Amino acid sequence: MSNRKGEKPVSLQDAQAKLREAKELQNSSSAKRGFNWLAWLGDLDANETKYENVVKAYRAASDMFKAIEHRKEAAQALQDAADVQIKHDGGFGAAATLEDAFNLCRNTDPEVAAECMEKKVQFYESIIKENKIEGKKEYYNAAHTWEKLGKAYNSLYEKLDTENHQLAVEYLGLAVNAYANSGGRYDDDGKPALARKSFVEAGELAVLQRDYTMATKSFEKAACAAKETRSHNLPSHVYSAVVCKLKVLGDTKLQEQEVQKEKVPKEPTVQEVFKDILVEYHALFREFKNSDKGRLLSVLSNNFSTKVFQAELDAAKVTEWERDVFMLILSLNEEDYT
């Protein structure tokens, strides 16, 4: 393939040769520098030029791979260029290079795309940790990079779910954490609207992972961000947080029933604890109590009877997993109303 009229078509062998040339140039530059600090100080400009040439060589190799649609190899060549930049200029140039690499392969090779964002987010987090922050742009850059990393991990989960479910679940967990970190950094940057979106992504993926404790925390944070921005999504987030917390509560009671024979002191009933949950969420809950889902929770808090609650459950638009949570809670308490 050729990009310009009259140019010799680029072959895979040409691209591979250019990559070898870049690596040899990098090794040569490192070897010449050695430990001769006086020579290095006396020839600082020349040394900088050498590293710039190495970066240019890797970029040239990347362009050649891209020309023949070998996007994975093109992205990896840019990663090599970024590694050189991190050592030479502190990483600011590397962040842009890694972004270029990510854009090359995000739709074709999510694993390589994730590696690019992992390196980039490590750079921004190190700046924040070392307190080398200029304004708040590093918080935003870190948040945006965490968000892209979450998308890459989620793509890997979807790609591998039918091929290697165990590995897919690991990527799902990484996606949850990436989105949660993204929300936290957006919050640090004073951008609650963006934080809300990332926390919702974390919550929804945590539900998919069946990590309802993490889902509860994520939806709670999303609800707080929604309240701060007066978002119409507030009722949905509060409702999701309550339902996830009920799932954790139900699982806890099931575990308690397993050890009932040991005659441990009686724990509060689910209904008692649920009333405490509504008190905990009162400031948010009162803002949507008259909605369909708000009424659903109100009815549940006052009567756990399956017969009384079932009509409300049928009327409300709930997902399959939400219905499963409510039926679990009802089954745990049905004995109290027979």
Q: What is the CA radius of gyration of the chain?
A: 27
Domain count, the chain: 1
Six-digit token string for 49 = 């030029």
Q: How far apart are CA 62 and CA 56, in angstroms?
A: 10
Residue 251 CB coordination number (10 Å)? 15
Distances (CA, A) of 81 to 24, 86, 126, 137: 13, 9, 20, 24
Q: What percent of the chain has pLDDT over 70?
A: 74
Dump pLDDT digits (tens) for 121-172: 999 998 888 876 666 688 999 999 999 999 999 999 998 988 899 999 999 9
Distant-in-sequence, close-in-space partners of 336: CB < 8 Å, separation ≥ 6: 269, 271, 304
Dump pLDDT digits (tens) for 207-257: 999 999 999 999 999 999 998 998 888 888 888 888 888 888 777 766 665
Q: How far apart are the first and last CA of the chain?
A: 77
Does 327 fall in a domain? yes
Average pLDDT estimate for 12-29: 87
Six-digit token string for 290 = 């008259």
Cα 195 to chain centroid, rounded: 12
Q: Tell me which DSSP letter residue 334 carries.
A: G
Nearest to 254 by CA among 240, 237, 267: 267
Q: How far apart are CA 296 and CA 288, in angstroms?
A: 11
Distant-in-sequence, close-in-space partners of 51: CB < 8 Å, separation ≥ 6: 29, 84, 88
Dump pLDDT digits (tens) for 46-67: 556 788 888 999 999 999 999 9
Above 60 in pLDDT, residue 42?
no
Nearest to 330 by CA among 308, 260, 207: 308
pLDDT value, residue 332: 67
Range of the domain at 296: 232-338
**Rounded (5°) CA angle 153-101-54:** 140
Does 171 fall in a domain? no
Q: 139 and 131 in contact (C-beta within 8 Å)? A: no
Helix, strand, coil percentages, rounded to 5, for the chain: 80, 0, 20
Does 8 fall in a domain? no
Q: Tell me which DSSP letter residue 312 carries.
A: H
Q: Tell me which DSSP letter residue 164 carries.
A: -
Q: What is the pTM of this model?
A: 0.80
Does 253 fall in a domain? yes
Above 60 in pLDDT, residue 261?
no
Give one DSSP letter per residue of 217-264, joined into a string. Answer: HHHHHHHHHHHHTT-TTHHHHHHHHHHHHHHHHHHHHHHHHHTGGG-P
Q: 315 and 292 in contact (C-beta within 8 Å)? A: yes
DSSP reduced 3-state for 5:
coil
Contacts 24+ apart (CB under 8 A), 58-62: 58/19, 58/22, 58/84, 59/97, 60/18, 60/22, 61/15, 61/18, 61/19, 61/21, 61/22, 62/101, 62/104
